[in-house]
Structure 1
Amino acid sequence: MQSDVETEAPDQALLLLKEKLCDWRDGPSPVWRSTWPVFERFIERHKEMQPVYRELAANGVTDIKLWNLLEQFIFSGAFSKEESHAELRADYDELVALNDSISEASTKLAEMIERRSEIINQSGHFHCDWTYSLSDLIDEAGSGNAHYDGFLRDELQPLKQYDLKYWPGIADILHVIGLEHVEIEFADQSTAAIINARRPSKTDYFRALFDHISDLKTGDWYSLPRNFKMTDNSLATVCNVALNFPADDLVDADFVKRTRHRLKEQGLTAGW
């Protein structure tokens, strides 16, 4: 027999979804445009989601805990589509290229500055009026930055008593930037898996969802219990609704179970 909390859970979830969609889409400052269609799918397919909400309520996931979990359903659905992953991979490739270009450009600029100084020092016929001092460069770059003006500027002024021989040269700093090996780190395991995957798949959604659920399992009053777990049936329903799969392409509990085992074998440590 269902408790009153379980009976009322679907209505509470529907109300939360409608209120948050109104805030995000129709408020004075609309946000997260890509999530709006996912909200609408959960609202339109509410009947399919009702058993999920009752299951969550039976496990104490109501009110703020329910919304925090719904939010992860929404975000996973919005950003786990094939086109989103293609954009993610494109951003990663651009970051790799930018790191290489910055390194090359820094080294080239350092060599140009050194050559300029060499010509001026050897010739004796020319002079270029540029900023030599690192402290002056910092001061100029920080101009207009309220944090710099309010906290650091006065602290750095006494250092201006030291002449150029005490400071690293601008070219030397650029050489360091050019030699620096910048590693691109992934925010979570699901991002790393998506970047390294040969092709997009339904598994990508579950990687992201499991990571998001794991982040919520802190045991705090507003979050999920550390031992929180959803059934495979409920996970399948959430996936089908979030990604709007057609009737002939739905995932089921067996698919979710196989996916969980496969991800564990691949080293995904997120809990479910």
Structure 2
Amino acid sequence: MMLPKTTPTAFCQAFIERELESNKSKPIWMSYWPVMERMIDRADELSIVFDELIGKFGYSDKYENLYVWLTLEHIWMSSRFCKSGAIQARVAFKELNELQKTIVDLSERLAIALKRQDELYESSGFIQPDYQTVIDMIEDGSQNNHEYQWEVSEKLKALGGEYDLKYWPTRSDIVESIAFFEEIQPPPKHIEISENTLKGRTSDIKDFVLSFDKKFNDSNDLPCGFRFSNNALADIINVVLDLPVDKLTTGDAIRIIRYRYSR
């Protein structure tokens, strides 16, 4: 299909129509169909967006220059940056941080208990009915892992027979390593939603702007560092999120958000 090059709006509108038709024929990406249809129906409202995109990268089809295609795709997929998605991410972010602290605490307490158990069996006169080595732990934990049983088990057991206990970590050493690993981990990062969005107050517009712009800084095939103008991004938000007339955002609002969170 030859795409019209009369205007950027005509070109991008035809581009999206073709992608939507292709997606429906498979069918794939069904959750984005309504957004793509809205971009087609309201293409005139996105004329600044299309002018800036084609002005930067030219009338290039997806096999000539990936930037036009991937940026348009980024626009219709940006519907996931709405408030509900950010709220869910915030809840998961909070829980992950709490779980990290819990794992550190439980691991440290368990390591202390295991060490104390060893001390008592060594000094109190009680006989330990059985002893679990690190190899036993791996074996017990891998009972349902057929690949391990087939490829690794016998080799590890052979190593256990070759080297006595002084060469291996104890159970408490292993548990302590879990606490150490978790304690030094940085806060979790979302692949799409920015740290400012995760830590800030809920706001449809702010969350969208920060997450949308962040994608152009991430390691992907989008044009690195590219930014739509404030007015263009406002038009994207109004169309993609289908905001009502009394909730429409403006270029000034985008400018304030970008300035505030760029410092």
Shorter-chain TM band: 0.7 to 0.9
TM-score (norm 1): 0.74
> What is the correspondence of 1:231-270 to structure 2 with a 5 Å cutoff?
231-264=229-262, 266=263
Query: What's 2:136 paired with?
Result: 136
> What is the correspondence of 1:153-192 to structure 2 with a 5 Å cutoff?
156=156, 158-160=158-160, 161-180=162-181, 181=183, 182-187=185-190, 191-192=194-195
Tell whether the 8 Å contact from 1:106 to 1:178 is kept in structure 2 after alignment: yes
1:187 Cα offset (Å): 4.3
Tell whether the 8 Å contact from 1:21 to 1:39 is kept in structure 2 after alignment: no
1:229 Cα offset (Å): 4.4
> 1:250-270: per-residue Cα shift (whole Å, max 9, x none)?
122333333333333x2xxxx
Query: What's 1:56 paired with?
Result: 53
Query: Which amino acid in structure 2 is aligned with residue 233 of structure 1?
Result: N
> 1:50-97: per-residue Cα shift (whole Å, max 9, x none)?
55335423433543333311222233321x222222211111111121
Query: What's 2:74 paired with?
Result: 72
Query: Which amino acid in structure 2 is aligned with residue 207 of structure 1?
Result: L
When structure 1 is superposed on structure 2, of 172-181 and 83-92 the one drifting more is 172-181
| 5+ long unaligned stretches in structure 1 | 267-272
2:210 matches 1:207: yes
1:117 Cα offset (Å): 3.3
2:89 matches 1:88: yes
> 1:142-170: per-residue Cα shift (whole Å, max 9, x none)?
452637854x5576455321111211111
- Rounded to whole Å, the distance in 1 between the matches of 2:186 and 2:121 is 38
Q: Secondary structure of the equivalent of 1:244?
A: coil
C-alpha spacing 1:153/1:43, structure 2 compared with 1 (3 Å)? farther
1:122 Cα offset (Å): 4.4
> 1:26-57: per-residue Cα shift (whole Å, max 9, x none)?
44xxx685x45534533443443355335423
> 1:186-212: per-residue Cα shift (whole Å, max 9, x none)?
247952101221342512211111111
Q: Secondary structure of the equivalent of 1:214?
A: coil
2:44 matches 1:42: no
Query: Which amino acid in structure 2 is aligned with residue 57 of structure 1?
Result: I
| 5+ long unaligned stretches in structure 2 | none
C-alpha spacing 1:81/1:195, structure 2 compared with 1 (3 Å)? same
C-alpha spacing 1:178/1:202, structure 2 compared with 1 (3 Å)? same
Q: Secondary structure of the equivalent of 1:230?
A: coil
- Rounded to whole Å, the distance in 2 between the matches of 1:71 and 1:10 is 12
- Rounded to whole Å, the distance in 1 between the matches of 2:83 and 2:225 is 31
C-alpha spacing 1:170/1:40, structure 2 compared with 1 (3 Å)? farther
Q: How many corresponding residue pairs?
A: 250
